[in-house]
C-alpha cells in the first residue's frame, strides 16, 4: 500500500484520529517523504503515514521483525527534514486479511438491504465500516472480528476514505486508539517499536 494513506470525513469536524494528508503540512519535504516511503516499502510496510501529532509512522504486518530491525536499500540516503518517527506492527497479517474483512462486512450489510463503505485506517489499525445498518446487522461482524473492525453510523456512500463521518463519536472508540498510538510509541507495551532520530545509514 506504500505511500500516504489519507483520512477524511464527509462533513463535520474531523475526528481525533485524523491523519495528516499532506506531509509538507508537518514540515516534511517531498524528497524526504519519498525516502520514508522507500524505506517502509523496502521492509514490507502495510502503510506509511503522518499521524495527527506530525510524526511519520510505518505500519507493518503482525509479527514483523522490521520495526526493531529495519533494513536499508543499497542507495539509501537519510532524510533531513524530520527526526523522530515510529514503526510498529499491526494486528493484521497483511492486506489480504484486511481486504477480506472489508469485503465480507460490505457484502453482509448490502445483502441485508443497507448501504456500507469500508476502508482501512492505519493509524487506528482497524477496518472502518460506515453504514446505515442497525446493530442487529452489524453486531455479528463485531463478534466475528472484534477489535479489527469498527462500525460507524452514517451513509456508507459518503465515506471517501478511512476516517469516518460526522456521525462518529470520538469518545466511543478513543480508548483503543490512544492506547495503541501513544503508549506504544512511548515503548510501554511489548510490541516491537522503534522511535528514534532519522537513520544515518545502513
pTM score of the predicted model: 0.70
b/e per residue, 95-129, with b = 16+ CB within 10 A? Answer: eebbeebbebbbebbeeeeebbbbbbbbbbbbbbb
Question: What confidence tier does 91 reach under pLDDT thresholds 50, 70, 90?
Answer: very high
Q: How far apart are CA 201 and CA 199, in angstroms?
A: 6
Q: How far apart are CA 29 and CA 145, in angstroms?
A: 38
The mean pLDDT of the chain is 73
Q: Is the pLDDT of residue 16 over 70?
A: no
Instruction: For 102-116, write each residue's pLDDT tens digit.
Output: 999 999 999 999 999
Amino acid at each position: 500500500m506504500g505511500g500516504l494513506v489519507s483520512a477524511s470525513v464527509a462533513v463535520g469536524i474531523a475526528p481525533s484520529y485524523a491523519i495528516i494528508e499532506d506531509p509538507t503540512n508537518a514540515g516534511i519535504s517531498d524528497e524526504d517523504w519519498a525516502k520514508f516511503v522507500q524505506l517502509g516499502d523496502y521492509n514490507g510496510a502495510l502503510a506509511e503515514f503522518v499521524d495527527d501529532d506530525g510524526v511519520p509512522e510505518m505500519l507493518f504486518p503482525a509479527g514483523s521483525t522490521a520495526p526493531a530491525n529495519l533494513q536499508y536499500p543499497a542507495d539509501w540516503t537519510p532524510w533531513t527534514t524530520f527526526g523522530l518517527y515510529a514503526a510498529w506492527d499491526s494486528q493484521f497479517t497483511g492486506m489480504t486479511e484486511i481486504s477480506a474483512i472489508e469485503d465480507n462486512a460490505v457484502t453482509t450489510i448490502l445483502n441485508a438491504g443497507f448501504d456500507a463503505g469500508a476502508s482501512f485506517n492505519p493509524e487506528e489499525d482497524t477496518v472502518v465500516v460506515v453504514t446505515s445498518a442497525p446493530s442487529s446487522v452489524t453486531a455479528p461482524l463485531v463478534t466475528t472480528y472484534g477489535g479489527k473492525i469498527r462500525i460507524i453510523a452514517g451513509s456508507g456512500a459518503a465515506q471517501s476514505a478511512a476516517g469516518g463521518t460526522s456521525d462518529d463519536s470520538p469518545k466511543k472508540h478513543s480508548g483503543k486508539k490512544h492506547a495503541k498510538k501513544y503508549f506504544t510509541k512511548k515503548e510501554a507495551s511489548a510490541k516491537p517499536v522503534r522511535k528514534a532520530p532519522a537513520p544515518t545509514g545502513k
